[in-house]
Amino acid sequence: MATLCKPAVSVPEHVITMEDTLALARSLHADHPQLPLALRLISNTGVAKRHIVQPIEQTLQHPGFEDRNVLYEAEAKARVPAVINSALDHAELRPTDIDLIVYVSCTGFMMPSLTAWLINEMDFPSHTRQLPIAQLGCAAGGAAINRAHDFCQAYPEANVLIVACEFCSLCYQPTDLGVGSLLSNGLFGDAVAAAVVRGEGGTGISLERNASHLVPDTTDWIAYSVRATGFHFLLDKRVPTTMEPLAPALRTIADQHGWDATGLDFYIIHAGGPRILDDLSRFLEVPPDAFRFSRGTLTEYGNIASAVVLDAVRRLFDEGAVTDGAQGIIAGFGPGITAEMALGRWTAGGPGIVPELMEPHMLGAQGTNLRSAAGSMR
């Protein structure tokens, strides 16, 4: 059974607080006719602080899409490897044990993907599969977990590395003055996260079922307009209402598995904003505290896009209160409007037995067969 092990998460060193954000909005948009509304919406996000890859003075400048994308690549290469190493340590694996890397990001573009650079620089095997996902936005964290689960179902001895790299601050557009854009300027933050899904062994969330759901006729509610100046984020005011049609999708996947979505032991939900969490709590009929891991991410880091679900899972680990066999759901929401959902059960299965880590005298004929099987699978 594929197990999602403890994620590793890193945020940049530059911090902007809620107070800083409100002061900047007042200063930069003093004549904006809807400034009071924007200030109220930002204040209601519950985001105490966010982390960004550059000082705020540089973030507010726009040197051009090319320069920003160069910075995205440089920052990704500088920050991702350490997070990967921590995630591998959590899973008690090495780069040579990884069969697939799923890389998700919607805030910069590279081709070849960063996965190719990682394979070269971090000694992952040259036969490691690569799966970059760029256009699922915030839902991509959930999608990465689900594709890792699918891969481990196809190859039960495989291990999958998930990497989410989001530098939302590099998508700031000073000419976008709609209320949705001003709200986004006070909501999104930067982060890098990584986690391993082990095909065998491991402590964490044993993944049992996954599903996707798209809300019809909402493709323009969350979108990018790609222009000469880069990615312009479009956020429709109707987005917060999407929990009403998405709550039944969460109920459905739980029902299909014989579980009750209103009575699970843990909930890992994308923290798109407080209204999202409040509405889902109401429509799913669960107490607000059930989403405490997602609210913690939102308060301390803001909306960190695809990295949200991984950070919320990390907080579940850190709380240390979940018991063996506890049932839970993971859900990421993003453009489409798309929900990527997974059901899992907490397991303290331990590291398992990895043939490469066994002493030579322990292998014998059985160990040789295990290695041959692993080699043919890869």
> Which of 195, 217, 224, 233 has the alpha carbon at shortest distance from 314?
195
**Exposure of 227 by Cβ count < 10 A (0-12 exposed, 13-18 middle, 19+ buried)?**
exposed
Q: How many angstroms separate the CA atoms of 322 and 19, rounded?
A: 35
- Provide the pairing of β-strand 222-227 with 230-235: antiparallel
106 in active site: no
Residue type (1 letter), 180: G
> Which of 254, 248, 251 has the alpha carbon at shortest distance from 208?
254
228 secondary structure, DSSP code: T
Q: How many angstroms separate the CA atoms of 360 and 221, rounded?
A: 57
Q: How many angstroms separate the CA atoms of 35 and 22, rounded?
A: 10
> Which member of 5, 138, 152, 165 is catalytic?
138
Q: Catalytic site residues?
A: 138
